[in-house]
Structure 1
Amino acid sequence: MTARKFTRALLASAAIALGAGAAWAQDYSFKLHHFLGAQTPSHTEMLVPWAAAVEEASGGRVEIEIFPAMTLGGRPPELINQVRDGVVDMVWTVNGYTPGLFPRSEVMELPFVYRNDPGAANLALHQMFESDLKDDYKGVEVMFLHVHSGNGIVMRDTAVHSPDDLKGKKMRIPTRTGAWTLEALGAVPVAMPVPDLPQALSKGVVDGALIPFEIIPSLKLQNQTEDLIELADRTRLGTIVFQLSMNKARWDSLPADIQQAFRDASGPEWLSELGHVWRATEDLGVDIATSAGSTHVMLTEDETEAFRTVLEPVVDRWVEEVGAKGIDGAALVDKARRLISENGSM
């Protein structure tokens, strides 16, 4: 099945779930909690189709109710403990909201390890999970890991063409690796979940942010930012790793055929398709921002090389930091870069 056919199948599954749900006798009900709104692409283009695909693969025995925007309570950084403690069945969350808790997976967040291909990075994460990353995920059963299109630069009123243009600027980022990137560029990192960004921009708490452009419309950032910047060939300043995970005890209680329904909906074909989803929504975000008057800049190769030179020590810093925990960071960097390259050429 091609990626596009897979998308159509997901949409068909969603329609079946809506039309025939009342006739199905669900044996297994799950609550999925996450931090973004019900109108965001993450909800409508990823979580809803994925849940529908699981329900269909289970033959109607599974029902997944999705609770967006922290409607079950708490703050985004609390999601991982909510699922580990069994407060909810499943969560979709940003690994970096709990700094240092998922150190191995941070390899995909590093600048110039991840460049510009979310589908290739998703597949690399999948291929590395059992052999290299699994120890990060105690207490949960990971359905899938993925990245977004990468950290572009959005600024209230500052054009950025070199690292010097970011010196002294207060910049939002949710992850510690992103904070290291900003520090290397001379900026001041400000950690916050992305739903807090609009208010932070409007009040001048931050001058800009490292975010994917797809989030601009749902947060209405086109009204508060004048400049969108990415590096040559759409290269980004790293990315963010997300997880969709289930409480481990709940997973272990499920029969093999129900577990397989979740696996069938979460495999490589889905992860590749997510890359297309993120890219499409990214383009939409750029279009909406530029239509509202923002300037979209793609840096030249020479300008990009200046960023690469400044940011290579961030990779070295991470390798040293995780090495103190007994993790071979250099090997993870090499493997991640190789797998991204291989998957990107497929």
Structure 2
Amino acid sequence: MKTNRRIASLAVLAIAAAAALPAAAQTVTLKVHHFLPGTSNVHLNLIKPWCDKIAKESGDKLKCQIYPAMQLGGTPAQLFDQARDGVADIVWTIPTYSAGRFSKSEVFELPFFTRSGRGSSQAFWTYVNAHALDEYKGVKPLWLHTNDGSSFHLSAAKGVKTLDELKGLKIRAATRLNSRMLAALGATPVQMPLPAVPEAMAKGVIDGAMVPWEGVPAAKLQEIAKSHLDVPAGAPKFANSIFAFVMNQARYDALPAELKKVIDANAGAEASAWAGGTGFDSVVAANHKLATDRGNVVNALADAELTRWIKASESVDDEWVKEVTAKGANGKALLDAARALIQQFDR
């Protein structure tokens, strides 16, 4: 009997000791959700390496379970809310897929605004933290970044070189400001997420798509498109999209201090610059070559033609300023602040 009581006592002590272990001794698995396939550049070269890094630096106390291609359900436009509501612990998304909710942040999607992923991502992180954090309530931004800037990828073999040739074409847009720019240029915008582009273009629903070179392989645009259009070298890109890698705030707050430090060390301005540079800028040349190797035509606007396109789209900036001001912010001041940060980081 004494032996049995002793064993029982030891068992109770063992259970109590296990319960008393600090939370940091337990493995925390983070559910990470995004809308691109598991073969995509962002999955393989951004999200997975980031997850591997926090696992290593935490001694495997932090791990990710990554769910690509909306495997947890919902639509790309719902991803931000999934992070806020705890459906996922972390998401990577385009916030402006939820139209009208990130009006201050979307200044970085204005036409002819950014030049590179790395520089504009540093500017975007700095801008949001100074002027637009209220748009990210319920989540903790880890990185905020842009892409390498959108180019045109078109079905027509001869391509487009002038504003007149663009008029009337049905072109995919990623966000509402992309759509406004296309309309201002005389095209017909068709707004859709990237995964919908290949079928729409292959079936002739659209004549082309605005997509960064980074996204070309994921949408197989080197195969579907016959021609492509870039801005002149060194010029600001046609348009951009903003991206957010954000964590449920309550999930972050519940982490022990040592694991918060690991997350914090892999978040912020430098992480944002890494995302824009490594994830987007670094693959442009290789993806460009995918198109030229297939014999596709790659055009670039002449400088004088670029001036026409910029002038034709100026109304998009003005409309954005009016809308943001109507919501209670100082649209002109925000635009000036964003441009100043672009001058600082993206030149």
Same fold flag (TM > 0.5): yes
The one-letter code matched in structure 2 to 1:297 is: N
Would you say the 8 A contact 1:113–1:333 is kept in 2?
A: no
Match of 1:218? 218
The one-letter code matched in structure 2 to 1:141 is: K
SS in 2 for 1:244: strand
CA distance 1:139–1:275, shift in 2 (3 Å):
closer
Higher mean C-alpha displacement, 316-325 vs 78-87: 78-87
- State the 1:287 CA deviation: 0.5
Match of 1:201? 201
Higher mean C-alpha displacement, 24-33 vs 118-127: 24-33
Would you say the 8 A contact 1:150–1:240 is kept in 2?
A: yes
Aligned length: 321
Match of 1:147? 146
Distance in 1 between the 2:262 and 2:339 partners?
31
Distance in 2 between the 1:329 and 1:52 partners?
40
Aligned equivalent of 1:311, options 306, 310, 313: 313
Match of 2:332? 330
SS in 1 for 2:30: strand
SS in 2 for 1:233: coil
Match of 1:178? 178
Distance in 2 between the 1:41 and 1:212 partners?
12
Match of 2:263? 262
Would you say the 8 A contact 1:57–1:264 is kept in 2?
A: no
- State the 1:178 CA deviation: 0.5
- State the 1:276 CA deviation: 2.9
**Map of 1:246-325 to 2, 5 A cutoff?**
246-277=247-278, 278-325=280-327
Would you say the 8 A contact 1:214–1:283 is kept in 2?
A: no
Quick one: percent identity of the two aligned structures?
36
Would you say the 8 A contact 1:121–1:147 is kept in 2?
A: yes
Would you say the 8 A contact 2:143–2:269 is kept in 1?
A: no
SS in 2 for 1:141: strand
The structure having more radius of gyration, on CA atoms, is: 2
Match of 1:81? 81
Match of 2:11? none
Would you say the 8 A contact 1:217–1:289 is kept in 2?
A: no
Distance in 2 between the 1:62 and 1:274 partners?
20
SS in 2 for 1:242: strand
Deviations 1:88-112 (A, max 9, x none): 1111011121111111110111012
Deviations 1:35-56 (A, max 9, x none): 1011111111111111122222
SS in 2 for 1:189: strand
RMSD across aligned C-alpha pairs, in angstroms?
1.7
The one-letter code matched in structure 2 to 1:271 is: S
Match of 1:19? none
Would you say the 8 A contact 2:170–2:189 is kept in 1?
A: yes
- State the 1:26 CA deviation: 5.0
SS in 2 for 1:70: coil
Deviations 1:136-159 (A, max 9, x none): 112211111101101111111052
- State the 1:130 CA deviation: 2.3
Deviations 1:201-226 (A, max 9, x none): 01111111111012212221222111
Match of 2:243? 242
TM-score by length of 2: 0.88
Distance in 2 between the 1:47 and 1:252 partners?
21
Deviations 1:292-318 (A, max 9, x none): 121111212111111111111111111
Distance in 1 between the 2:276 and 2:104 partners?
21
- State the 1:325 CA deviation: 0.3
The one-letter code matched in structure 2 to 1:181 is: M
Distance in 2 between the 1:215 and 1:129 partners?
24
The one-letter code matched in structure 1 to 2:93 is: T
CA distance 1:85–1:273, shift in 2 (3 Å):
closer
Higher mean C-alpha displacement, 197-206 vs 124-133: 124-133
Distance in 2 between the 1:289 and 1:339 partners?
33
**Map of 1:65-214 to 2, 5 A cutoff?**
65-114=65-114, 116-157=115-156, 159-214=159-214
The one-letter code matched in structure 2 to 1:262 is: I
- State the 1:264 CA deviation: 0.7
- State the 1:32 CA deviation: 0.2
Distance in 2 between the 1:81 and 1:126 partners?
20
The one-letter code matched in structure 1 to 2:302 is: T
Match of 1:18? none
The one-letter code matched in structure 1 to 2:62 is: V
Would you say the 8 A contact 2:34–2:93 is kept in 1?
A: yes
Deviations 1:254-309 (A, max 9, x none): 23332221121123333333333211212221110111121111212111111111
Would you say the 8 A contact 1:82–1:88 is kept in 2?
A: yes
- State the 1:87 CA deviation: 1.2
Would you say the 8 A contact 2:118–2:281 is kept in 1?
A: no
Would you say the 8 A contact 1:26–1:60 is kept in 2?
A: no
TM-score by length of 1: 0.88
SS in 1 for 2:161: coil
